[in-house]
Amino acid sequence: MTIRTKTLLFGALCTCFVFAIWAVAYAPPLGVDGPVTILRILNFASKWQVLFAAGVALIAATIAYLGATEKVRSDEKSALRAERLRLRGIFLRLQYTVHAIENEAIFFLNELNGEPTLSGKLEKIVNINFAEEGGISEAWQALDLMREDFADALFNIRVCFHNISDSKDHLAGKQALKPTENTTRASVHNVAFGLDRLVKISRELTATLRTDTPLH
């Protein structure tokens, strides 16, 4: 609160205080009705000087409190604004990330389905790598701020990423269970299923993000 605002507040309070004295000066308990005179006001003030002094002290204390807590309120507003900007940044990056993941998943799925041979599919799977996967990780860190439906969508996207990565590791022989023809075909199917599910989830999430906020 600026000094000018404090002065105006003090003036308004004092005006109300004087108006109250003026109104009471006309009241029958003070004597015969008639015009306001200095004598009547002084007579009234002498009877209620303790109350007047308390009123003035209250006004002064209020202004002093507002001045003393001005920095605290200013800091709270700045912190709130910074938090809103941070959340807005997460929201916008999530919107971009989900849309990019949808496009990447569509591309990888088309590449995989367009390859007729199993060896060709394996070669395509090795090259699957989502450039925007890190954006989901950032949003995951703010999961406590997300609405339940958005949190569930992010969880399902991470599950898809995990399943695709797990299948890639199996096909590359990085797991204890070495790939056989059956497990290889199963892993290829899992990758295709994961990509297809990624497309559906990200498409629905993108459409919702355009019109709604994921935050509480």
pLDDT in tens, 133-143: 777 888 888 88
Residue 195 sits in the same domain as residue 135: yes
For range 23-40, the mean pLDDT:
55
Residue 60 sits in the same domain as residue 163: no
Q: Give pLDDT, residue 139.
A: 82
For residue 92, being part of any structural domain is answered with yes
Question: Is the pLDDT reported for residue 102 higher than 50?
Answer: yes
Domain membership of residue 27 as a residue range: 3-68
Which residue has better confidence, 134 or 107? Answer: 107
Domain boundary (43, 68, 93) is at 68
Which residue has better confidence, 91 or 112? Answer: 112
For residue 62, being part of any structural domain is answered with yes
Q: Give pLDDT, residue 5.
A: 61
Residue 117 sits in the same domain as residue 194: yes
Which residue has better confidence, 14 or 184? Answer: 184
Count of domains forming the chain: 2
Residue 100 sits in the same domain as residue 129: yes
Q: Cβ distance 113 to 189 under 8 Å?
A: no
**11-25, 41-55, 125-139: which range is least confident on average?**
11-25
Show the tokens assigned to 82. 């910074």
For residue 165, being part of any structural domain is answered with yes
Q: Give pLDDT, residue 9.
A: 63
Most confident of 25-34, 37-46, 202-211: 202-211
Counting DSSP H helices and E strands in the chain, the numbers are 8, 0
Could you read off the pLDDT of 60-83 as tens digits, one per residue?
777 777 677 777 777 888 888 887
Residue 118 sits in the same domain as residue 203: yes
Residue 152 sits in the same domain as residue 96: yes
Cα gap 205→109, rounded to integer Å: 19
Q: Which residue has the tokens 């990780």?
A: 137
Residue 24 sits in the same domain as residue 116: no
Closest CA to 197 of 105, 104, 127, 78: 105
Residue 64 sits in the same domain as residue 94: no
The contacts of residue 164 (CB under 8 Å, 6+ apart) are 128, 190, 191, 194, 195
Residue 101 sits in the same domain as residue 55: no
Residue 16 sits in the same domain as residue 64: yes
| DSSP reduced 3-state for 215 | strand
Which residue has better confidence, 166 or 173? Answer: 166
Q: Cβ distance 90 to 138 under 8 Å?
A: yes
Residue 12 sits in the same domain as residue 51: yes
Cα gap 68→58, rounded to integer Å: 15
| DSSP reduced 3-state for 55 | helix
